[in-house]
Amino acid sequence: MAGGSEENAVRSEALDDLVDALRTFTVESDVFVDVFARAHGLGRSHLNAIMWISASAQAGHPMTAGELAGRLGLGAPATTALIDRLESAGHVVRDRDPHDRRKVTIRMQNVALQLAMQFFAPLGVGMAHASADIPVTELKIASTVVRRMTQAVTDARRATARPEATDGSASAPEVP
C-alpha cells in the first residue's frame, strides 16, 4: 500500500510538472502571437479565427462560418462581424460552395498567408531544433498527451460556457 501512495505521489508530481510546462508554453505562445497581432492590428479573436481557418484549409476542408463559430465559442452574429472585419482587412475571403450556394466557406488570402509564414517560420525552425534529439516514439507520445490535455481544456470550456455569452455580446472585454 505504501508503494501505491509513493507511486501516486510521483505521478502527481510528474503531472504537475507537465501542466506547469503546458501553462508556460501557452503563456509564451500567447505573448509571441500577440507581438504579431499588435504589429498587424489584430485582436485575439481575429488570430484565433485565422488559425482555425488556416488549419482547416491545410487539412483539405474549407471552414464554414458555422464551424468557425463553434471553434471560437461565438454565436452567428459575432462570427459574421468577425469575418466581416477579417475580410475588410484583406485577410480572408468568402467563397460560395459551387454545389450548394447556401453554403459559404472562408479561406485565407495569399498575402495574409505569406505574412503569417514570414513571422512564424522562425518559430517552426526553433521548435524543430528544440526537439531534434527526441526520439520519434517519444514525440508521438508527447503529441498524444498534448492532444488529450487540449481536449480536457476544450471540454472544460464547453462545460463552463455561459449561454448569454455565446453571441459574443456578453463576453468579457479583452485586456490589452
SS3 of residue 173 by DSSP: coil
Specify the pLDDT at position 156.
Answer: 92
148-157: pLDDT as tens digits: 999 999 899 8
Cα first-last separation, the chain:
51
In this prediction, residue 85 carries a pLDDT of: 94
DSSP-derived secondary structure letter, 26 = H
Which pLDDT belongs to residue 171? 45
* Residue numbers in the chain where pLDDT is lower than 70: 1-3, 162-176
The predicted pLDDT at position 175 comes to 36
Question: What's residue 163's pLDDT?
Answer: 55
Return all residues near 165 (Cβ < 8 A) that are at least 6 apart: 73, 171
Using one digit for the tens of pLDDT, what is the confidence trace for 52-88? 998 898 888 989 999 999 999 899 999 999 999 999 9
CB 62 within 8 A of CB 107: yes
How many C-beta atoms surround the C-beta of residue 83 within 10 A? 22
